[in-house]
Every structure is written in C-alpha cells, then in structure tokens.
Amino acid sequence: MPASSFALAEHIFAGLRSLDPLGHNFLLWTECRKARYRYCPLCLEEPGCKFFPLHWRFKAWRWCPVHDCLLEDVCAHCSAPVTLPDTMINAGPDKQGVATLQYCLQCANPLSSGLGKIFHPVADDLLTSAERVFLMNGRAVLAALLHRSVYSDQSDKRRPLAYLETMRKFGVLPHEYFEIPSSLLERRFSQRF
C-alpha cells in the first residue's frame, strides 16, 4: 500500500481520537474487545492482494460503494466475526493456517462463499428512504473525520467535528444494531415482479 494510504488512515484516526479516544462509540468490537470488521464478499473475490479497508471497521459503514452491496457481519460458514489483527499462521479449525485475508480465521472457508444471492440495494431501489439515509450517513461519518467538520444537507453550513458525537447520541448515524437482512432485500426484490 502506498504511504499516502497510511497517512490518510492516521489522519482519520486522529479525528476519531479527538471525539472518541478509545473508539468504543464509532468502531466495531467483539464482546472481548477485539477489533472487528465487516467485509464486502465481492471485494474479497477480486484478484490481487486481499486487505480490509479502514472504513470496514466503522459501525456506521454498512455498504460497499464499489459493488453496491451491503457488507457482511460474520462468516457465512461458522458465524464468527471477522477480527483483525489475528494470527494467520494458526488460523482455521485444525490450526493449519490461511494464506490470505479472504479466508475466515476461525473455519478457514472463503469469506466470499456461502452467502446466497447478493443484492444491490441502491441500484435496485430496495431501500426505504430511512435505510438509504442511514447508509449515506455512514459514508458521511468518514467524510466528517477526513475533513474535520460535519456537513448537513438541511443546512448549508459546516459544523465542528464534535457535532458528529451529537448526531450519534441522537441516533441518526448507523450503529452496530442497524441491519438490513438479505431475507428482507430478497422479499422486496421478489415483490417487484
């Protein structure tokens, strides 16, 4: 990865630390306080080096803009959350290791398989207006951390970054319990025809 990627990550994390020093309110964690990630199964199928982008770690980020699909929360094979950093050398059920991050560190199955149909909620217009706002607000969280200010469509003025914490407390940002299950998208998709 280019050095600029690390500089960007450090810039975003510096903004986050100014609001939430330990990241408890904005980052995903397991119950044991291990760093947890969501992932795009289609990104992990692409050729090249497998990595987990910074935004997959944020509670508010639920959608892949590259593939227009929702991010997955757990491995479809064993329901384990994706935690990093972790050891790849002893990963999998028999501790035989996995070669790349496209494999679950618990069961060693590909994270991109076993999911069923992957829906494209924005392009296929499968979201309610509230769900669409939540997904877009998730993107706005990282934009606010990057630019150190919060911009709202309702008012044309920028607010200080600290306003992001106010938005979180009011519940207008996506949170770890906000879900749009595939079964719901499938039902909406089938009702269209």
Return the C-alpha torsion angle 23, 79, 128, 147, nearest 10: 20
Q: Are 76 and 38 in contact (CB under 8 A)?
A: no
CA atoms within 13 A on the CB side of 58: 26
* Contact between 178 and 133 (Cβ < 8 Å): no
pTM of this prediction?
0.83
Q: What is the pLDDT along the chain (193 residues), one digit of tens a residue?
A: 556 778 888 999 999 999 999 999 999 998 888 889 999 999 999 988 788 888 999 998 988 989 999 999 899 999 999 988 777 777 777 777 777 889 898 999 999 998 888 888 888 889 998 888 888 888 889 999 999 999 877 777 889 999 999 988 988 887 777 778 777 888 898 887 6
- The one-character DSSP state at 116 is -
150 membership: H or E segment, kind and range: strand 149-151
Domain boundaries, the chain: 3-191
Predicted confidence at residue 3, as pLDDT, reads 61
C-alpha span between 170 and 177 (Å, rounded): 15
